[in-house]
């Protein structure tokens, strides 16, 4: 850019102002720079000076970037206006462009600024050139010939007399094929007839018409153009020609449409967030009822030991189920992106059915419903390879919904063994299990039976039809069934009830059932024959107590530290610590920093990170800090034992 441009910059941060100037210099832009850090200075500069472009921050302490844009568009609509901001979200960016902003540049992508400024200045120049060409077309024939826009001159009947080179390029027609031809040759057939009628009425009245038209090139390709069409008047006041100056805006239209779609999606996302929060209560209510209900029953004095142990078992199982549901809600994005893992283990589905029955029976009885179940296979054939947690989650969602939407009658659930699947390509498929949940509830209309498996459907229509759909639970169930290699569907009749079905391949049966007993064996000690020393770094007293008790049962001598700095000192002073269990989130020095510090003088000691975050990328972050392994809270003692054993085995190699 050879000419010097005058820039007005609305910015309250001096450092950002200096950065912007530096970026422009690197872009080889010649400019005069004026800084306004408040509303008064901004108005004063624009009133008393002439600027080529305005650059503005989006958020200022006492002034809004949107207000600055609105004022500039009202008073100085010809000056390009570009937002340069570090906090501008997608929705705000879309809104600003629709309100007249030329462009926006995020501060973390300042390398775009030079191109954005040059493009804005170029577009400003092109707009001024078009207006000038309209007024002086007869005098500036060479400028018309070299114009970057399409320029077409017709007679008063609309027949083409002249088209410039860029017009040939835009339409794909050579000028020799267009002379004497009406511009309707460019028609796409998709422009409303009323637009052409308005166009002709306007220019025949001696006025300028402007608008957007969807046209078609010689090769059939559609393109959008912005057209300025005006009459040409001779010295006697007679209308002798029409002048059309056109710009290809296909790319700009595409960008605008994408921004509008993105804005609509953002608004939809906000609406669905509210639906999501509503669904959380539905997803965790059942296990929470199990925990609170059986905890209350434990207070009864007449309970015997077996009853107490049974209630405690159900409470623990309920807690595990609630944690699993929470994890599913947190991991819903993993399902969509294909990152949700599947943990296939040998699973006794008869035990699963029996436990689910005992879990839901009190809730069903409380509503006066009869709950029954059916298991098709004998015990010694009911072991299959599947993801146990996902099977439980699917059945729990279906049963919870059945109880919720059934006011009287009965509910039956279970499975049937299918020796072969349906014919596929003339061949019989493998054996499979068909699970089902049947209720005598309100039923689902036929036109909603597919929609209920879509995410948030129930919440989306709750104000109008509160008893249809199953919200997030069914969408998760559908995803899980697909991950397990099956399919899910519903058969229902309004007023008579519903039956949900889902299938599961019947794989790796009872020949592996002994492995389950081995996996579920009692937790023993670690490295029998010697007592290992472990440092537990934990600032929460309850968590520290739980870990200490559990680790001592694993034949460990436990040392405790309540902070990262204390952990570092203990590791310096006690060289025979075998392993460190490091909490990540602590006040003062956190677990990451403490691990890095320990690694400066001890590169060998195993350090296991423990965190309640459990988000994507946390494991990698822990490993980068120097941790040897990683476990999420609440900590499963069996898993912890396995990790500790693995780390101790490595140190002894």
Q: How far apart are CA 202 and CA 183, in angstroms?
A: 17
Residues 566 and 624 in one domain: yes
- Cβ–Cβ under 8 Å, residues 308 and 499: no
Residue 395, token pair as written in the block? 């059945």
In this prediction, residue 471 carries a pLDDT of 52
Residue 405, token pair as written in the block? 């939407």
Q: How far apart are CA 393 and CA 401, in angstroms?
A: 12
Task: Enter the DSSP assignment of 511.
Answer: G
Residues 555 and 492 in one domain: no
- Residue at which a domain ends, from 511, 540, 557: 511
Phi, psi of 516, deg, nearest 5: -65, -45
**Inside any domain, residue 253:** no
The model's pTM: 0.38
In this prediction, residue 479 carries a pLDDT of 87
Q: How far apart are CA 106 and CA 117, in angstroms?
A: 13
In this prediction, residue 545 carries a pLDDT of 85
* DSSP symbols for 71-121: HHHHH-TTS-EEEEESS--HHHHHHHHHTT--EEEEGGGGGGHHHHHHHHH
List of the chain residues with pLDDT < 50: 1, 421-428, 458-470, 509-523, 528
**Inside any domain, residue 386:** yes
For residue 301, what is the domain's CATH number? 3.30.565.10
Residues 29 and 176 in one domain: no
Residues 74 and 119 in one domain: yes
In this prediction, residue 483 carries a pLDDT of 87
For residue 625, what is the domain's CATH number? 3.40.50.2300
Residues 239 and 332 in one domain: no
**Inside any domain, residue 302:** yes
In this prediction, residue 355 carries a pLDDT of 92
In this prediction, residue 469 carries a pLDDT of 36
Q: How far apart are CA 84 and CA 87, in angstroms?
A: 9
Using alpha carbons, list the distances in angstroms from residue 547 to 372, 541, 558, 585, 592.
40, 10, 9, 16, 20
> Which residue segment(s) compose the domain that 549 sits in?
525-651
| Closest by CA position to 179, among listed 152, 200, 215 | 152
**Inside any domain, residue 258:** no
**Inside any domain, residue 260:** no
- Residue at which a domain ends, from 98, 123, 148: 123
Residues 507 and 581 in one domain: no
**Inside any domain, residue 259:** no
- Cβ–Cβ under 8 Å, residues 120 and 100: no
Phi, psi of 102, deg, nearest 5: -75, -40
Residues 440 and 470 in one domain: yes
Residues 228 and 307 in one domain: no
**Inside any domain, residue 518:** no
In this prediction, residue 226 carries a pLDDT of 92
For residue 179, what is the domain's CATH number? 3.30.450.20
Tally of domains within the chain: 4
Residues 561 and 645 in one domain: yes
**Inside any domain, residue 257:** no
* DSSP symbols for 114-172: HHHHHHHHHHHHHHHHHHHHHHSTTT-HHHHHT-SSEEEEE-TTS-EEEE-HHHHHHH-
Residues 286 and 424 in one domain: yes
Residues 343 and 406 in one domain: yes
Residues 469 and 405 in one domain: yes
């Amino acid at each position: 850019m050879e000419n010097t441009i005058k820039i007005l910059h609305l910015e309250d941060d001096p450092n950002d102002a200096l950065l912007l100037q530096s970026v422009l210099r690197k872009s080889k832009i010649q400019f005069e720079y004026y800084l306004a850090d408040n509303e008064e200075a901004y108005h004063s500069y624009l009133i008393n000076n002439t600027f080529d472009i305005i650059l503005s921050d989006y958020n200022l302490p006492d002034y809004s970037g949107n207000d600055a844009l609105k004022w500039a568009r009202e008073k100085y609509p010809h000056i390009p206006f570009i937002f340069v901001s570090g906090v501008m979200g997608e929705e705000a960016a879309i809104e600003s462009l629709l309100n007249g902003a030329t462009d926006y540049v995020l501060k973390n992508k300042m390398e775009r600024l030079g191109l954005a400024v040059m493009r804005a200045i170029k577009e400003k120049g092109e707009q001024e050139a078009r207006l000038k060409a309209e007024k002086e077309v007869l005098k500036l024939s060479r400028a018309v010939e070299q114009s970057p826009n399409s320029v077409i001159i017709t007679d008063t009947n609309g027949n083409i007399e002249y088209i410039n080179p860029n017009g040939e390029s835009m339409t794909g027609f050579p000028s020799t094929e267009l002379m004497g031809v009406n511009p309707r040759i460019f028609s796409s057939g998709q422009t409303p007839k009323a637009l052409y009628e308005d166009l002709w009425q306007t220019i025949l009245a001696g006025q300028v018409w402007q608008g957007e038209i969807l046209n078609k090139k010689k090769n059939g390709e559609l393109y959008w153009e912005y057209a300025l069409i005006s009459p040409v008047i001779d010295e006697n006041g007679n209308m002798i020609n029409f002048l059309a100056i056109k710009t290809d805006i296909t790319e700009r239209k595409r960008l605008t449409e994408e921004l509008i779609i993105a804005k609509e999606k953002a608004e939809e996302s906000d609406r669905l967030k509210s639906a999501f929060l509503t669904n959380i209560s539905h997803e965790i209510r059942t296990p929470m009822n199990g925990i609170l209900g059986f905890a209350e029953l434990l207070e009864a004095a007449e309970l015997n030991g077996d009853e107490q142990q049974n209630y405690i078992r159900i409470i623990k199982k309920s807690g595990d189920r609630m944690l699993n549901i929470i994890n599913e809600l947190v991991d819903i994005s993993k399902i969509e992106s294909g990152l949700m893992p599947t943990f296939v283990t040998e699973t006794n589905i008869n035990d699963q059915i029996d436990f689910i029955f005992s879990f839901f029976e009190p809730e069903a009885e409380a509503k006066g419903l009869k709950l029954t179940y059916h298991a098709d296979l004998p015990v010694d054939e009911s072991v299959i390879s599947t993801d146990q947690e996902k099977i439980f989650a699917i059945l729990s969602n279906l049963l919870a919904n059945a109880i919720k939407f059934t006011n009287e009658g009965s509910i039956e659930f279970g499975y049937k063994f299918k020796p072969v699947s349906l014919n596929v390509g003339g061949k019989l498929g493998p054996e499979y299990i068909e699970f089902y949940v049947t209720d005598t509830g309100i039923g689902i209309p036929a036109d909603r039976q597919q929609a209920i498996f879509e995410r948030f459907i129930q919440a989306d229509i709750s104000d109008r039809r509160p008893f249809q759909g199953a919200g997030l639970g069914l969408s998760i169930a559908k995803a899980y069934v697909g991950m397990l290699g099956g399919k899910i569907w519903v058969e229902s009749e309004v007023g008579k009830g519903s039956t949900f079905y889902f299938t599961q391949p019947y794989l790796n049966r009872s020949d592996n059932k002994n492995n389950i007993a081995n996996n579920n064996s009692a937790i023993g000690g670690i490295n029998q024959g010697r007592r290992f020393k472990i440092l537990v770094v934990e600032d929460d007293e309850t968590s520290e107590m739980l870990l200490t008790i559990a680790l001592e049962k694993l034949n460990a001598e436990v040392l405790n530290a309540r902070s990262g700095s204390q952990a570092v000192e203990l590791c310096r002073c006690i060289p025979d610590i075998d392993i460190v269990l490091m909490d990540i989130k602590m006040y003062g020095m956190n677990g990451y920093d403490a691990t890095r510090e320990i690694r400066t003088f001890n590169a060998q000691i195993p350090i296991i990170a423990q965190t309640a975050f459990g988000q994507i990328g946390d494991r990698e972050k822990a490993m980068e800090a120097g941790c040897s392994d990683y476990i999420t809270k609440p900590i499963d003692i069996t898993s912890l034992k396995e990790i500790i054993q693995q780390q101790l085995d490595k140190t002894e190699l």
